[in-house]
Each structure stands twice: as C-alpha cells, then as structure tokens.
Chains A and B, each alone.
Chain A
Amino acid sequence: MTALPPIALPVVVEPRTRRGRGRRPAWRRGPALVGLVVLALWVLVALTLPLWTPFGPLDPVDKRLLSPNAHHWLGTDALGRDVFTRVLWGARTSLPVAAIVILAAVIIGTIIGAVSGFFGGWIDAVLMRFVDITMAFPPILLAMAITASLGPSIRNAVIAMILVWWPIYARLLRAQVIAVRQRDFVDSAVAIGASRWLILRRYVLPMSYTPVLVNATMDFGQVVLLVASLSFIGLGARPPSPEWGAMITEGATNFYQWWIAAGPGLAILLVVLAFNFVGDGLRDTFDVRDDS
C-alpha cells in the first residue's frame, strides 16, 4: 500500500470583478489618476506662478547658457533667462490656448454635427462635404496655412486650430446623433408631440455626447502639441514670450546646451501624456462594451 499522492486541486481564484461594489470608476484610478494629478499640478502652477517664482520669465537673471544647477534647475538660456521659470510660464499659454481651442471646436462641432445628423438630407450633405474637405488636409498643414495667411501670432494660431479641429467633433457627433435618433424613445417622443428642437436637445444630445467628451479630453494633449509645433516653426507665439514650442526653437539654435530645449520638451511630454491617460480612463468609464 503506497500512499496516494496528494491530489492537486485546482486553485479557484475568485475573478476580480471589474466593476465590483466600491470600485472607483476607471478615470479615478491607475494611469488616469496619475494623469489627473499631473494636470492638477500644472493648472495649480499656471494659476499661482506669479506669486512665488523668484525669477521673471523675460528677465535676464544670470550668466548666459549656464548648465542646470541648484540655483537654476534647468540652467539659463542664450539671454540668461531662467529656463525652469520659463517652462512653468509656458503652461500659462499652452493650457488656456488648448482649453479655448477645444471648447470652441466642441461647440461648433456640436452645432454642425447635431444639425447634420438630426435633420439629414441636403443640409447634412452640404455640411459633411465641408467637413470632408477640411479633414482631407493634415491638421498641421492646414493650421500652418491659415496661420501664415492671417499673420503669425498666438491669436491667429488659435483661430486656425479651431478651424482645423471642429470637423472632428462634427463628424463624431453626427454619427452618434444618427444612431440615437433611431432609438425607440425618440420615436415615442415624436409620437407624443415633442418638437424637433426639444427632442434634439433633451433626447438625442445627452445620449450622443460621450465620445465627444472622451475625444475632447484626448485632443487637449494634441492641441498642446499643435500649438507648440506652430510656435516652433514661428507661426504661433513669437519670442521672447515663454511658449514651449518657441522655446524649443531657441534651444535648437544652442545645440550643445541641451537643457534649453529639453525643459519645454519635457513639459509637453508630461502634459500630453497626462491628457491621454485621463482620456483613456474616461473612455473606459463610459464604454458600455466594457461591462462584462
């Protein structure tokens, strides 16, 4: 009689419930939470910066082209300005610009997309051809062309970016509106005598907004990048204003002083990544396909 070998029972691991009770929504955990904290810090810095920074963004405060040290964390640039201070000041341009561009593009895109999807017919055809034309160009190219023709300035860059950006939301919302418009509760609202305007506003739009919201969050980062790109090629913010793209241009002329370009580059990286994380989290939160 030999002892029976112990039977290896399969270990039953309780599956982690994706949406267990008390589980935080996706946008408040993981990378999204990191992104949220990073963004909160940037906003805080942008708002309070003038109160505590020891240096002005435009003032030559020390010797030129100093490498990073305890006094100047990111060194100084070709005119002896503190790079770290200027990087922080950059947020005061990039964040409001991105906010204005996204907000305006969302508003215009919502109106055009909703009208297009809800009413259909020739209105839809005309508006969507316009969207097609705009979207046929790479955004950066069209934004460059518009800014260049309006004259290089941050204000014109904002106008150009709004013009380039709204078709994305119009297209997105139109698709949603068309889908929601065919749902039963919209038909029953029509049957009960609700006006088209009321149906669009209270029945269709609230159900169509999720992808626009998610995309807008992600696009925040893209707009930050785009405004930096425009400034980098001299079409947005002009020197000496502390804008990340413009600062990288200055850094590029001082090739061996890496910190001058690396500072603003790092700032762009942080902000864009943070917005993408938050956008991903939002998408996971809203995605109906996710709740298995």
Chain B
Amino acid sequence: MIEQAVAPVPTGAPTAEPILRLRDLRVTFDTVGGPARAVRGVSLDVFPGEAVAVVGESGSGKSVTMLATLGLLRGAAVSGSATYRGTELIGLAPSRLRHVRGAKISMVFQDPMTSLNPVLTVGRQLDMVMRAHNPDMSKKATRARAVDLLDQVAIAQAARRCDAYPHELSGGMRQRVMIAMAIANEPEVLIADEPTTALDVTVQAQIMDLLGRLQRERQLSLVLITHDLGVVAGAADRLAVMYAGKLVEHGTVPSVFAEPGHPYTRGLLACLPRLDRRGEMQAAIPGIPPSPLSLPPGCPFAPRCPDAVTACTEHEPVLVRTATSTIACSVHAPAAVVR
C-alpha cells in the first residue's frame, strides 16, 4: 500500500511533460527577527490543461511559492528550481523573465480594488499589456482585441466599458478586467492568487465559473491559490496542501476529498460547512500555524495534530506515496527508507 515517492508524480494527471515544474523551491526572507523560512522545499508539477489548487492557511507559503516562481519577490533569497517548459526561471535575467510574465505565465491577484492602475482606462491598460509583449500591434488592433477580451470575460457593453476607469467598475467587474489582462497574451499558465477572497459570495461563484470556463476553452493550466476548499472542490483537478512552507499532501481532488491522508487535510475538510450535517458545531483545528521564524522540531503540524506521537517531534516527515495520494506524515505514511 505504501510506496516511496521520488518525485510528486500526480495520480491521474495527463501523462504529458509538465509545463511548470518546481523542484525543492525554497524562499527565505531576511527579517529583523532572523531568517524567515517561508517556503522550505516545494516540488510540484503543473501539466498542460489541468487545474491545480494550492491550499493552505495564511502564511503557509502558497502565494510566496508562486510569486517566487515568477521572480516577483523583492528582497527574498530564492533557491531550488522552477522551470517553464525546460527554461529555468529562478535566477533568469529580468529582461528575459519579463517575456515569460504575462505572455507565458500570467497572474491574477487577490484584490481587484487595488490591482488596477487608477489613472488609466481599462482599455488603455489592456493595450499596454498587449503591447508589452507585442510592441508592433497597432492601437486599432489592441482596441479591437480589448473589446473582444472584455466580452470573453463576460463584461456587458464591452466597447463602452473599455473607456471606463477602474473606479467606475464594481469589484467583480474589476476582477474580470484583471482576468482579461492576464489572458490577453494567450498565456499557457494562469496563476490565480486567491482570486475571489476580496469579493462577495455570489460574485465569487461567477468569477470561479469564468476561470473554469476559460481554463477549459483555452486549455489553460490553472494554478489556483486559495484557502477555501469549497472553491477547490468545483474548480480543480488536483490539490496540493501546504503547511508551514512545505507540501503535506497532494493528489487528485476526488481522492483527497474522499480519503484525506494527512491529519491537516482532514482537519481542513472537517472545517467545511456541510449541508448534510446541520446543527452540528463547526469543527476547527486548534492552535495556530507556527511562525516561520521559529519552526518546531520535527513535523511542523505536530503541536496541533490529534494523531501526533513522540516520533513526530523528532524528525520531519518526507512525502510518501499512499494508495490515494502523497502525504508527508510519519504516522499515516511512515517512510520505508529514510532518505
């Protein structure tokens, strides 16, 4: 039942070459309190056309991992490897990295209220995004495409909205504009960093529908960073759970949801409100995540873990393949060979 996992090969993912391949990615911030190890060796593959959800609490390193991949962190020490179609992104010259950002790998941020330039119209911003990668495009061409893009992200009266300033649009519409900007250059990978956190619930569903539709229609690889497992259930093929800067579990969404291997994943799933269990007290994981400045010895989840044994605090578990997923837990998936 238990096998040694060498690399996190996804169960049930397309058997193509990964489009984005992270290997032992580490990010350390130098803070006044000492080095904060935000990401401590993350390996993850993203295959063409699939939707991967990266899940974790605030500070688990999920956003930082993806920001580091695109070289968007200032003042952080990044090591390890992140390749896009074989091109190493970590340490890539800024001038070359610029041609990856937005054109090959795009990103949608959390807060659409502050992520748009307040002094330029929507159309002008779309124009700049397109011309950042295709300087030869005419104003007329970018304008036509801007209207088309706004149409694709389901903004009504796209031609009129094109001349609107961000403050004239609602939060949901602004996030649609952000998505339009992100897909303007036909990227292969779209990273959505908590794209619905700042929106209200009905708009959240619309934005997730839109992302799902775009992903299917364009065969995009979608990396969805979220702390909302409810969002993951409907939108992602695979799931990667992060805790204290490491992956603790990954596998396909159906199998992880049906049989979560890691106690942390179980805890997260138990926290989901369920319609079939009304009236019960909402479950919660006791305690708070450890500070990246002072991680406990052994498994970082051990202090909060209901299943923890003495061995948990002695050495940190490695990722091990189980029947349903891949988990890092000494109790539920003890490593056969210590690597």
Taking a contact as CB atoms under 8 Å apart, the answer to whether B109 and A190 are in contact is no
- A183-B114, A193-B102, A195-B98 in contact; A188/B178 too (CB < 8 A)? yes
CB distance from B313 to the nearest CB of A (A): 38
A40 an interface residue at 8 Å Cβ cutoff?
no
Taking a contact as CB atoms under 8 Å apart, the answer to whether B107 and A192 are in contact is yes
B148 an interface residue at 8 Å Cβ cutoff?
no
Q: How far is the CA of A184 from the CA of B193 in the complex (A)?
A: 13
Point out the residues of chain B lying under 8 angstroms from A192, CB to CB.
101-102, 106-107, 129, 132, 181-182
Q: Contact mask A194-206 → B, CB, 8 Å, 1/0? A: 1110100011001
CB distance from B132 to the nearest CB of A (A): 5
Taking a contact as CB atoms under 8 Å apart, the answer to whether A193 and B117 are in contact is no
Which chain A residue shows the least CB distance to B191? A191
Q: Contact mask B271-314 → A, CB, 8 Å, 1/0? A: 00000000000000000000000000000000000000000000
Taking a contact as CB atoms under 8 Å apart, the answer to whether A187 and B128 are in contact is no
B116 an interface residue at 8 Å Cβ cutoff?
yes
Taking a contact as CB atoms under 8 Å apart, the answer to whether B116 and A185 are in contact is yes
Taking a contact as CB atoms under 8 Å apart, the answer to whether B117 and A185 are in contact is yes
Point out the residues of chain B lying under 8 angstroms from A187, CB to CB.
72, 109, 115
Taking a contact as CB atoms under 8 Å apart, the answer to whether B118 and A207 are in contact is yes
Point out the residues of chain A lying under 8 angstroms from B116, CB to CB.
185, 188
Q: In the complex, which of the residues B72, B114, B133 contacts A191, with contact meaning CB atoms closer than 8 Å?
A: B72
The interface residues of chain A, by DSSP majority, are classed as helix
- Most chain B CB inside 10 Å of its own CB: which residue of A191, A196, A202: A191
CB distance from B176 to the nearest CB of A (A): 14
B316 an interface residue at 8 Å Cβ cutoff?
no
Apart from A193-B99, A193-B185, A206-B119, 13 more pairs, CB < 8 Å: A185-B118, A187-B115, A188-B116, A188-B178, A190-B101, A191-B72, A191-B102, A191-B106, A193-B100, A193-B129, A198-B128, A198-B132, A202-B120
Which chain B residue shows the least CB distance to A205? B119
Which chain B residues (91-123) contact chain A, with CB distance < 8 Å? 94, 98-103, 106-107, 109, 111, 114-120
Q: How far is the CA of A206 from the CA of B125 in the complex (A)?
A: 14
Taking a contact as CB atoms under 8 Å apart, the answer to whether B70 and A184 are in contact is no
Taking a contact as CB atoms under 8 Å apart, the answer to whether B132 and A185 are in contact is no
A145 an interface residue at 8 Å Cβ cutoff?
no
Point out the residues of chain B lying under 8 angstroms from A193, CB to CB.
98-103, 129, 132-133, 185
Task: Name 15 A/B residue pairs within 8 A (Cβ), A-sorted.
Answer: A185-B115, A187-B72, A188-B109, A189-B117, A191-B101, A192-B102, A192-B107, A192-B129, A192-B181, A193-B103, A193-B129, A193-B133, A195-B132, A198-B128, A202-B128
Taking a contact as CB atoms under 8 Å apart, the answer to whether A191 and B119 are in contact is no
Q: How far is the CA of A195 from the CA of B128 in the complex (A)?
A: 10
CB distance from A38 to the nearest CB of B (A): 32
